Structure 1
Amino acid sequence: MSDLPLAQQVQRAAACATDDTVTLDYDARFLRRKKLTSAQGVAFVVDLEQTTSLDDGDVLELSNGGRIAVVAASEAVLEVRGDLPRLAWHIGNRHTPCQMCGDHLLIQQDPVIRHMLEHLHADICEAQRPFTPEGGAYGHGRTHSHDHGHSAHAH
């Protein structure tokens, strides 16, 4: 892998010219070091200082000067409709990543969460869509753990 260009810099939602794209689902956009191949067949290695959550529209800057735009892949999701504030509260209470879409919520397909939402009288439809959930309450990041880092309160 040493002959491949390295991506060690990420430009967040960059509005710059790019040479290529790499399409990744939500889970694959959480990485530190990984070999990837772009849409045009360019192999490269992402080698970031720390594990990072990449978003749709971020740009990976390669050591050879290339720029690869990150595209969120379509994946299996649940479209959730109903009493959105109440449903969003229950989803968030389970630390489940959730995308807010105005008239509905999107979550990854999960039979346990789906069952809970059905009991809360949610209307649920399966779909294939890019999934770009909200980041954590304290900034950019993932919501799948219960680590509050340097917050002022303790559990």
Structure 2
Amino acid sequence: MTQLIVHNIVTDNHSAQVFDTCALTYDARLMRRKVLTCDGGTAVLVDLEHTTSLNDGDLLALNDGRFIRIKAAAEPLYRVAGDLVRMAWHIGNRHMPCQFAGDHLLILRDPVIGHMLRDHLGADVAEIDAPFTPEGGAYGHGRTMPHAH
């Protein structure tokens, strides 16, 4: 059997033939070299030149010409409602990834942050499980990554 290897990420090919899907949490979508087992059981080696943040919907281009679609997996989050501008400022001040979802914010569960938002800032904080696709960094797409000046 030929080993399936990923050397490339495709972000804008909506007509690609998708062979399998792979649901990954936010943290698991940051990778350079890793073996993934996809939802349909396909095992692939991701071997990228640089550490890359994969987004929901990205395609992994396999060495045999097929594609695997990345999906954001459900994970433990807080749904934060209330004064969203104030809450977003405090979340950002702690450099936490945050997803803006209209009338609420989504953040990864952190008991200390949940306590601060709920008990000190008056936010409505609910524990949910949902896909997490936070806003990208100010200097590019995807998560904030170190950069050279």
Is TM > 0.5 for Structure 1 vs Structure 2? yes
Q: Which runs of 5+ in 1 are unaligned?
A: 151-155
Structure 1 stretches of 4+ moved >2 Å = 147-150
How far did 1:14 drift?
3.6
Q: Which amino acid in structure 1 is aligned with residue 47 of structure 2?
A: D
Judge conservation of contact 1:36–1:45 (CA < 8 Å) in 2: yes
May I ask how many residue pairs the two structures share in their alignment?
A: 147
Distance 2:15 2:111 in 1: 40
1:104/1:14 Cα in 2 relative to 1: closer, same or farther (>3 Å)? Answer: farther
Structure 2 partner of 1:27: 27
Q: Which amino acid in structure 2 is aligned with residue 131 of structure 1?
A: F
Distance 1:70 1:148 in 2: 25
Identity rate, percent: 57
Structure 1 partner of 2:100: 100
TM norm structure 2: 0.92
Aligned-residue Cα RMSD (Å) equals 1.6
How far did 1:71 drift?
0.5
Q: Which runs of 5+ in 2 are unaligned?
A: none
How far did 1:15 drift?
1.4
Distance 2:91 2:107 in 1: 9
TM norm structure 1: 0.89
1:14/1:78 Cα in 2 relative to 1: closer, same or farther (>3 Å)? Answer: farther
